[in-house]
């Protein structure tokens, strides 16, 4: 059974600081996804990581994937209030026809 | 409008009633999915569909029925609603490229309350 664990589940940051969210998964996977969800809203795709060593960056967010360690990280650089949201990682288990297993999410709050 | 839409956006119903949640996508994506989102559980897959007339169970299918007669529509029916089905329901769609699924695009969600 594929399990996806995120930590921390809650993160309170000050603006300007850096931090990393971790996503561990328990079995071989073809792809790893990061999504963002604002309160009361839907999920928005941030990154799709396809292979070992993949790194993608968008603004202050950078995601990486280490398939050997079964670990993905979402690094936040110089956080700003607009980044406050819940971030989910999701893993596409090999052979699963695209079914995603989601982590429980990391609720990020960036304070001035 | 292009994209993926869900209706209704909000629904209040009573225990035992049948409820149908609608999902429509304009991209002609092959795959469609239904999730429920609950505090403490994250998102859990209810049912998915690989193409018209092909559906399969996800992690939490009990109490739900789906159909997919057309590629663009994927309705979810609660045959006899229970309070435990109070949740936010998200529909998603994705394409299948190079033997693997692309990223999933999510609809705006339906907030369902069962009294």
pLDDT digits (tens, 9 = 90+) for B45-80: 999 998 999 999 998 999 999 999 999 999 999 999
A100 and B102 in contact by Cβ < 8 A?
Answer: no
The overall average pLDDT reported for chain A is 91
Please name every residue paired with B92 in a beta bridge, in sequence order, or none if there are none: B33, B106
For A98, the closest of B94, B105, B107 (CB atoms) is: B94
* pLDDT tens readout for residues B21-34: 999 999 999 999 99
Tell whether the model's pLDDT for residue A95 goes beyond 80.
no
Q: A31: which chain B residues are within 8 Å (Cβ-Cβ)? A: 100-101
Higher confidence at residue A93 or residue B15?
A: B15
Q: In terms of Cα–Cα distance, which of B13, B45, B50, B14 is closest to B29?
A: B50
* pLDDT tens readout for residues A30-66: 789 999 999 999 999 999 998 888 899 999 999 999 9
Q: Provide the pLDDT for residue B1.
A: 58
**Measured between alpha carbons, how far is B42 from A49 in angstroms, rounded to an integer?**
21
- Supply B32's token pair: 């469609």
CA A93 to chain centre: 16
Q: Provide the pLDDT for residue B53.
A: 92
* pLDDT tens readout for residues A66-87: 999 999 999 999 999 999 999 9
Please name every residue paired with B37 in a beta bridge, in sequence order, or none if there are none: B43, B88
Q: In terms of Cα–Cα distance, which of A61, A62, A77 is closest to A16?
A: A77
Q: A7: which chain B residues are within 8 Å (Cβ-Cβ)? A: none
A49 contacts: CB under 8 Å, gap ≥ 6? A31, A32, A33, A34, A56, A63, A64, A65, A72
How much is the average pLDDT of A4-31? Answer: 92
**Measured between alpha carbons, how far is B7 from A80 in angstroms, rounded to an integer?**
34
**Measured between alpha carbons, how far is A17 from A56 in angstroms, rounded to an integer?**
20
Q: A30: which chain B residues are within 8 Å (Cβ-Cβ)? A: 100
**Measured between alpha carbons, how far is A56 from B106 in angstroms, rounded to an integer?**
21
Tell whether the model's pLDDT for residue B19 goes beyond 70.
yes
Residue window 15-74, chain B: list those with CB within 8 Å of chain A. Answer: 31, 33, 40-45, 48, 50, 56, 58
Q: Which residue of A has its CA nearest to B35?
A: A100
Half-sphere exposure of A48 (CA within 13 A, CB side): 15
Higher confidence at residue A46 or residue A28?
A: A46
């Amino acid at each position: 059974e594929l399990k996806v664990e995120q930590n921390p589940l809650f993160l309170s940051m000050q603006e300007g600081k850096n931090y990393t969210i971790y996503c561990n998964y328990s079995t071989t996977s073809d792809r790893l996804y990061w999504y963002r969800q604002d309160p009361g809203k839907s999920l928005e795709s941030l990154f799709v990581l396809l292979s070992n060593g993949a790194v993608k960056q968008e603004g202050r967010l950078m995601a990486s994937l280490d398939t050997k360690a079964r670990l993905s990280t979402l690094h936040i650089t110089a956080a700003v209030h607009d980044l406050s949201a819940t971030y989910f990682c999701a893993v596409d288990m090999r052979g699963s026809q695209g079914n995603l297993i989601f982590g429980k999410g990391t609720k990020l709050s960036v304070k001035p | 409008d292009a994209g993926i839409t869900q209706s209704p956006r909000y629904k209040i119903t009573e225990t035992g009633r049948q409820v149908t949640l609608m999902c429509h996508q304009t991209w002609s994506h092959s795959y469609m999915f239904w999730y429920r989102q609950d505090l403490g559980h994250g998102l859990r897959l209810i049912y998915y569909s690989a193409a018209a007339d092909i559906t399969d169970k996800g992690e939490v299918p009990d109490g739900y029925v789906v159909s997919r007669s057309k590629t663009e529509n994927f309705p979810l029916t609660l045959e006899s609603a229970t309070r435990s089905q109070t949740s936010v329901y998200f529909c998603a769609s994705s394409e299948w490229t190079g033997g693997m699924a692309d990223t999933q695009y999510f609809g705006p969600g339906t907030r369902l309350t069962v009294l």
